[in-house]
Structure formats: C-alpha cells, structure tokens
Amino acid sequence: MGKKVILSGIQATGNLTLGNYLGAINNWKKMQEDYQCNYMIADLHTLTIRNNPEDLRKNTLELLALYVSAGIDPEKSNIFLQSHVPAHAELAWVLNCYTYMGELSRMTQFKDKSAKHADNINSGLFTYPVLMASDILLYQADLVPVGEDQKQHLELTRDIANRFNAIYGETFKIPDGYIQGVAARVMGLQEPKSKMSKSSTIPNDAIFLKDEPDVILKKFKKSVTDSENVVRFDTENKPGISNLMSIYSAITGKSKEDIEKEFEGKGYGDFKTAVAECVISELRPLQEKYKELIQNPDYLEKIYRDGARKATAISENTLRDVYQKIGLVS
C-alpha cells in the first residue's frame, strides 16, 4: 500500500509569521517523511483582493524560498505554484456547477472577508471555497492539514465530492482533515484572542519569519500579558501568557506543566526573554538558508518548473476522468 497523499498550501500575500511556521510549515516538514506531500503556493487564491502585480511576484518567490528554507525538501515533496497547473481553475468551474449558493453563503470566511473588503466583494471571494475544493480533489488527497478556520471549507469539499460521486460513480477520494498538534493556532502578541495574521496591521502583533533577532526580542517584550505575574496556562483568564507558553512548548517540546515549574517564582520579563531567545534560535538557520536561496533565482525556478510538471501529470488524470464522466468530448 502506497503512502497517503497530503495537499496543503499558503497564499502568496504578506510575510509569513511564526504562526504559519509552527502551525503549518514545521508540521509539513515532518509529514514529508511518511506521506506523499503536495505543497502549493496558492497564488490564484490571492486574486480575491487587489494585489500590486510586482509585489505578488516578489511575495510568491519569497514564499517559495521560505518553504525550502524551513525544511520542505523538493526531493521529498512536490512544491508548485497553483497558477502553473491549469487543472485547478478548470476543475473549479466544473465543481461550481455542483455547489449550491446556500452552501457558499454559509461560509464564515466569506462573511469575515466581505466585512474587511467592503469595497471589493467579488464573486471570486464567494466561490473561493470551490477553488479550494478543486485544489484538494485534483490530487485525490487523503488528508488536508487544516486549522480551525478552514474546517468549514474542508466539510464543503467533502460534500461536493460525495455529491459528484453519487451522480457519476467513484471519482474523488473523500479527504479527511489532519488536525495539527500543539501550537496549531498561534495567537497575536497584542491581540492574544485572535490568530496571528500575516496581514495584521497592529504594531508588534506578529512575529515574521524574516524579522531580525532584535526585532523579535522587542516584540516579545512588548507582548500583552496580565497583572498576575505568574506563568500559568489559562487561556480564558491569561490568554497572553498562555499563547507564549504554547509557542515555547512547540519549540522546546516541554509540557505546560514543565514550563510552569521552570518559571515558578520568576516574573514575566524573564519568561518573555526566554520565549524570544528560543524563537530567535529556532529561526536562525531558516533565515540563513533563506538569504542564500533568495539570491539564487535559477534554483527557485527549477523547483517550481519541476513541481508544475509533476502536479500537472497528477491533476490531469483526475480532470480527464471528470470530463469523461460529465460528457465532455475527449
């Protein structure tokens, strides 16, 4: 029996954060040993908002360099740009015809993003989950690493696949969610009840993977805590400290109980410095590798060209089957 298939991706907008690293990419790195992994840069998904074209091209290549710098090995995983594989957009159109308006209107991310971009509520924003379903189903993915905010989209993907299979026979594998472990949801340093976001405009709220060590230290020192001055895990009453503990735990492997004992009798200043230092140490090799890769555009181009070839070969098999079943002339 072959390895199970994984599909995941990140949009090519903004700077990647510590949350993206601990909640997604670091887990992807571990998964590539045991699964057949397909990791895309979701550049088509970025088009639901207006992008500066040069910034989008730059962000896409920087994200590719960060994937590899973080340990995603192009020899073990297939890394590709979504827009380089035409089957994503082609299957999305077909699946749009098997997805109901009521289903899409219930998507909470559409409501949230519409509120943030009230001047640009476009149809792509509405049908975004169908393109996501296409991404997943093209590769016959067994598992999709998802955070809490993507569970609803995965459920819709399963519904669409089951509906299509019921009409035309077994076509799509029904994917399951692969729920991340510790620190799957890193929160903001200034808004610890909201997920750390690469599009955050709040000063010092997000740690970006390219932040210099002195910037990382400063941001942690300014992180929001509480007046108790006791390092204790309590997400309800101590969201700031609990978030720092989750970050520290994810990097060091220490349990929450061990962290509480380690910093018993010590103030928040000591704890914030310790968290900052472990983050700086964790990101140092990634940052050094990134600086090398971003100066080597030929190597990055080879990765995405090779990835596109592999992804196209897989995705076209699925698309051909779909076209045949719905009656399009071959």
**Residue 136's CATH number:** 3.40.50.620
My answer on whether 142 and 12 are in the same domain is yes
Query: Does residue 194 contact residue 250 with C-beta atoms inside 8 Å?
Result: no
pLDDT tens profile 47-98: 888 889 999 999 999 999 999 999 999 999 999 999 999 999 999 999 999 9
The pLDDT confidence band at residue 279, using thresholds 50, 70 and 90, is very high
Residue 200 within any structural domain of the chain: no
Q: Which range marks the domain in which residue 136 is found?
A: 5-179+297-326
Quote the pLDDT of residue 183: 47
The pLDDT confidence band at residue 121, using thresholds 50, 70 and 90, is confident
My answer on whether 165 and 82 are in the same domain is yes
pLDDT tens profile 309-323: 999 999 999 999 999
Report the distance separating Cα 183 and Cα 193, nearest Å.
14
My answer on whether 137 and 31 are in the same domain is yes
Quote the pLDDT of residue 307: 97
State how far the alpha carbon of 211 is from the alpha carbons of 20, 62, 170, 190, 253, in Å.
Answer: 14, 14, 48, 17, 23
Query: Does residue 26 contact residue 39 with C-beta atoms inside 8 Å?
Result: no
Report the distance separating Cα 104 and Cα 125, nearest Å.
10
What is the value of pTM for the model shown? 0.89
Quote the pLDDT of residue 50: 83
Query: Does residue 10 contact residue 20 with C-beta atoms inside 8 Å?
Result: yes
Instruction: For residue 200, give the 3-state DSSP assignment.
Output: coil
| Least confidently predicted of 86-95, 106-115, 221-230 | 106-115
Quote the pLDDT of residue 308: 98
Residue 194 within any structural domain of the chain: no
Residue 134 within any structural domain of the chain: yes
My answer on whether 88 and 160 are in the same domain is yes
Average pLDDT (283-305) is 97
| Least confidently predicted of 13-17, 66-70, 189-193, 303-307 | 13-17
Dihedral of the alpha carbons of 122, 125, 130, 133, in degrees to the nearest 10: 160
My answer on whether 29 and 170 are in the same domain is yes
| Least confidently predicted of 97-101, 147-151, 188-192, 304-308 | 147-151
Residue 268 within any structural domain of the chain: yes
My answer on whether 243 and 147 are in the same domain is no
Average pLDDT (147-176) is 92
- For residue 327, how far is the Cα from the chain centroid? 35
My answer on whether 134 and 251 are in the same domain is no
Residue 202 within any structural domain of the chain: no
Task: Compute the mean pLDDT over every residue in the chain, rounded to the nearest whole number.
Answer: 92
Quote the pLDDT of residue 114: 65
Residue 205 within any structural domain of the chain: no
My answer on whether 217 and 174 are in the same domain is no
> Structural domain tally of the chain?
2
Residue 291 corresponds to which amino acid?
K
> Active-site residues: which are they?
113, 195, 198
Instruction: Indicate which CATH number applies to the domain containing 219.
Output: 1.10.240.10
Residue 33, CB-side half-sphere exposure with 13 Å CA sphere? 5
My answer on whether 174 and 126 are in the same domain is yes
Which residues neighbour 129 within 8 Å (Cβ) at sequence distance 6 or greater?
99, 104, 107, 109, 110, 153, 156, 157
Residue 250 within any structural domain of the chain: yes
My answer on whether 248 and 162 are in the same domain is no
Residue 186 within any structural domain of the chain: no
Structure letter (DSSP) for residue 165: H
pLDDT tens profile 228-265: 999 999 999 999 999 999 999 999 999 999 999 999 99
My answer on whether 267 and 317 are in the same domain is no
My answer on whether 159 and 226 are in the same domain is no
pLDDT tens profile 21-52: 998 898 899 899 899 999 999 999 998 888 89
pLDDT at 182 over 60: no
Query: Does residue 188 contact residue 200 with C-beta atoms inside 8 Å?
Result: yes
